[in-house]
A and B are shown apart, each in its own frame.
Chain A
Amino acid sequence: MAGLMMALLGLAWVIGGSLWLLARRRYALRQAPQFAMDLLGVPVDLAQRVFGRGGVPYALLLPNLLIFGFFTFLPMLLNIYVSMTGGSSIALFDRPFVGLQKFAELFDCESLLIPKTCTNAGYNFWTGMWNTLLFVLVQVPVMVAAAMVTALVVNRDIKGRGFWRAMFFYPVMLSPVVIANIWNWVLHRKGALNAVVGEAQGGLTALAGMAGFDIVMTVLLGIVLMVVTERALRAGEGPSLAWRAVFGGLFVLLAAWAQPLSLLGLPGSTLAGAVLAAGLLWCVANDRAARAALTLAAVLAAAMLLAIQFDAVFDFGRYRPTNWLVTPNTGWPFFWLVFVFCWSHMGFYMLILLAGLQAIPRDLYEAARMDATTPWRAFWRITLPLVMPTLTVVIVLSLIRSFQIFDEVYLLTGGGPGRETFMVVQNIYEVAFSSNNPDYGQAAAGSILMALVIAVFTFVQLWLTRRQSEL
């Protein structure tokens, strides 16, 4: 029926338009392209004929608004109607009106925070919702930070800039299916990652077994530590942020190996080391007792270095391959989802941030250099405030995008193991489209709740950055 209407409309357009055009002017055969162009614009010309120039913009807007109206705004309103109907009929007016029953089903829980206490529908929905929220809260900061660092690096005066930028953008071009297949191949139990990790660990363990390895490693690392400390401490020549970053990295590494907290019977030395190193960097960056803090940290690092038995550090025992995407209660499936999502989407946000960075006038940095500002300070005081509008846009866009995560998860883990990576869009998809007894009402109710959550997040975000926002 609709097809017939479309065909009739098309026919009227082509035949009527041709007649109209041919009546007004003659076309030579070689003017066929121009004729096609005129034919395409017949409605606009007609509008100009009938209503004058004032009618033209409406005619130009019409196709876009028709599609927006029918396929974006109408569905939004329809969502509310559908969420209040039951049954599994596809004919819109065949559906019995049930009021807010579908919402009540979703909210039929003792506690929303514990999906286990809900009925079946609520269990699936809230599991998906909390998983998605967790995913968004972890993924957005990680991705924005990675995109920012990458944008800063490729914005530097480096060789082959175009190549690096293009390479980081490349995964954006790949489809979710291809991405899922590639990473499935890498993360498979017998896949590339396990093979590489196993070989590396075997090699390190064998190396550590050689005589004198401890002494050689300690001496080597000691020399590196001395050089780095000297570089980071060097005064007068302008403090170097990069060397301090290297020092921080070294410090974290040493803490991870030496596990100083384990002497007290406590876990989490790596984290403690990272916190210490970050605090140190912050101290140094703000020039508060920088020399003292750095010297103290160097002494600590030296003590840890002497305490490490390197052959014990590199003895990983027999490595057993992990089933990255399948093993439950390890957090690995979730980690790899975040990783793969960042891998595939980071480039796009990097490009937007890059555009923002390039809009910052160069002479600001030159003036800062005249005043002997550290690069660290220049970043906080010049780069960040000026790139903030772009950053806000990036955060909002990536937030909205991450809420909709479906393809990669569905294809990589299918929501598993168990329901560990089950996302809310997958719940909507499964309820409405892949079950034998589709419950469109419940899926629509779920989408409305999801829209509310996204709206809240977006508005909080826009409100927090209201002074810098461009949206």
Chain B
Amino acid sequence: MSVARFLTRTAGNRETAQRFGLQDVLAYGYLVLGVLMILVPVLWTLFSSVKSETAVDSFDTRLLPLAQVTAEIEGEGKKPLWVLAEDGEERLVFKAGPTRKITEVSPLDDPDTVLEVPREQLSPHEELRIATENYLDPILKRNGQTTFDFFTYLWNSVFVTVAATLITLLINAMAAFALSKYRFRGRLTFTILIVATLLIPPSIILVSLFFVVWSFGIFGSLWGVIIPAAATPTGVFLLRQYMLTIPDELLEAARMDAASEWLIFWRIVMPLSLPALSVLAILSVIWRWNDFLWPLIVLISDPTKHTLQLGLTQFAGEFNSDFHYILAMTVVTLIPITLVFVWLQRFITTGIATTGLK
């Protein structure tokens, strides 16, 4: 058996065997390239977020969080340590003067002597250290990081996401139930009205929505973010399509048993449309958690009402140079949605694809 045949042989016998053709090579190449393009920036941010402040500031492109070791020197304070390589021998030193072509250094074990060595012989003494302070400082408000009120933002984000999703699910399911299971005057009009809103982009009603929300008195409160977005045409449409497949006989049977219409909705239709409901729930969670423009308009003036996304932009704007904190907080905002994704990914990809979402 030749090497090439050995490498390309596949399962099955001579007739049924599928060769691993060039099309497969191209397909897998495309997939690997695409996934690299998606994962590398995210992972890069993740790895960078645990690097020390100096490493982040100097844009250290190495993958591992290597940080220069500092040591307390008597009479000098904290000094970064360098490795002096001389004749195959390595000594730990610290700088005793400014960095020039010939730099003055002192050995760690003998701080009083001053050596003059060429700069090229010095390399930073590094150790592997995960900079947890990038995360802990802003969250626990240490080291003067007082403006980023993590737990308030988290609570606001969670509240908006959960409340909006529950309301969305309930009222969209009610509307979808009415539109799919009853014949009444104006049914077509309502359906067309609701589906037509699919084509109205939120950003063109921005200004007047602001006026409406203001006159309802919910401007500047979390409800101003939750309520306007609660009725989504996508949700009604998706649930309606799904509920149309539920047989009417089930409902009739329940009516024979003198169940009220609400009981039918709650006890029969809702459990049966669980797959569609969960897809809508996932979508709603993504939309609300990631929402940016509308919260920016409604909530920006009150820092105690900021969501995580708003808090993060404000934070990044204020500390434009403190990349290590920005990266860490970015990762923190990324983690919940990534966990949701990892947990539900099988469901998301099959669910959205099979419920025929438009």
Contact = CB atoms under 8 A, between A and B. Distances in A.
Interface string A43-76: 0110010000110111011011101101111111
Contact of A78 (B178, B194, B208, B297): B208
Contacts of B323: 185
A158 B31 contact: yes
Contact of A354 (B174, B209, B353): B353
A87 interface: no
A186 B293 contact: no
Contact of B333 (A178, A191, A351): A178
Contacts of B233: 68
A1 B217 contact: yes
Interface in B194-232: 194, 197, 199-218, 227-231
Contacts of A358: 353-354
Pick from B25, B34, B182, B217 the residue with the most CB of A within 10 Å. Answer: B34
B216 A167 contact: no
Interface string A212-248: 0000000000000000000100000000111101100
A168 B236 CA distance: 26
B28 interface: yes
Contacts of B357: 352, 355
Interface stretch (B76-84, B104-112, B341-349): B341-349
Interface stretch (B92-100, B141-149, B309-317): B309-317
A67 B261 contact: no
B59 interface: yes
Interface residues of B, number: 102
A44 B182 CA distance: 14
B12 interface: no
Interface stretch (B42-50, B66-74, B118-126, B130-138): B42-50
B102 interface: no
Contacts of A168: 34-35, 38
A181 B205 CA distance: 28
A188 interface: yes
B204 A454 contact: yes
A72 B205 CA distance: 7
A82 B208 contact: yes
Contacts of B150: none
A188 B323 CA distance: 11
Given A56-B182, A67-B230, A355-B356, A343 B38 contact: yes
B41 A183 contact: yes
A158 B266 contact: no
Interface string A436-471: 000010011001101100100010000000000011
B265 interface: yes
Contacts of A178: 312, 330, 333-334
Contacts of A56: 178, 182, 261
Contact of A403 (B28, B59, B201, B297): B201
Contact of B31 (A164, A172, A432): A164
Interface stretch (A146-154, A278-286, A287-295, A361-369): A146-154
Interface string B183-195: 0100100100110
B27 A429 contact: no
B112 to A, nearest CB: 38
Nearest to A154: B31
A173 B31 contact: no
Pick from A63, A176, A185, A186 the residue with the most CB of B within 10 Å. Answer: A185
A171 B184 contact: no
A355 B172 CA distance: 23
A304 interface: no
A460 B48 CA distance: 47
A282 to B, nearest CB: 19
A450 B204 contact: yes
Contacts of B27: 153, 156, 158
A174 B292 contact: no
A65 B179 CA distance: 12
B162 interface: no
A2 B216 contact: yes
Interface string A159-189: 0001011111111111111100111011010
| Size class of the contact patch on chain A | 35 or more
Contact of B326 (A181, A196, A401, A403): A181
B273 interface: no
Interface string B146-188: 0000000000000000000000001110110111001010010
B190 A61 contact: yes
Given A67-B228, A71-B227, A169-B345, A186 B204 contact: no
Contacts of A164: 31, 35
Contacts of B128: none
A153 B345 contact: no
Given A393-B358, A400-B201, A60 B194 contact: no
B278 interface: no
Contacts of A90: 211, 214
A400 B199 contact: yes
A92 interface: yes
A79 B208 contact: yes
A8 B231 CA distance: 23
A240 B131 CA distance: 53
The 8 closest A-B pairs by CB, nearest first: A41-B262, A2-B217, A175-B290, A78-B208, A60-B178, A190-B59, A64-B175, A67-B231
21 contacts: A2-B216, A57-B184, A57-B187, A63-B231, A64-B236, A71-B229, A76-B205, A79-B207, A90-B211, A168-B38, A181-B312, A182-B41, A195-B59, A242-B23, A351-B352, A351-B353, A355-B354, A406-B203, A406-B293, A447-B207, A451-B204
Interface of A: 1-3, 37-38, 40-41, 44-45, 48, 53-54, 56-58, 60-61, 63-65, 67-68, 70-76, 78-79, 81-82, 90, 92, 149-150, 153-154, 156, 158, 162, 164-178, 181-183, 185-186, 188, 190-192, 195-196, 231, 240-243, 245-246, 343, 351-352, 354-355, 358, 375, 393, 396-397, 400-401, 403-404, 406-407, 411, 425, 428-429, 432-433, 440, 443-444, 447-448, 450-451, 454, 458, 470-471
Given A76-B200, A245-B26, 14 more contacts: A2-B217, A61-B179, A64-B174, A68-B233, A79-B208, A158-B31, A166-B345, A182-B41, A240-B22, A241-B23, A355-B354, A393-B358, A404-B201, A433-B210
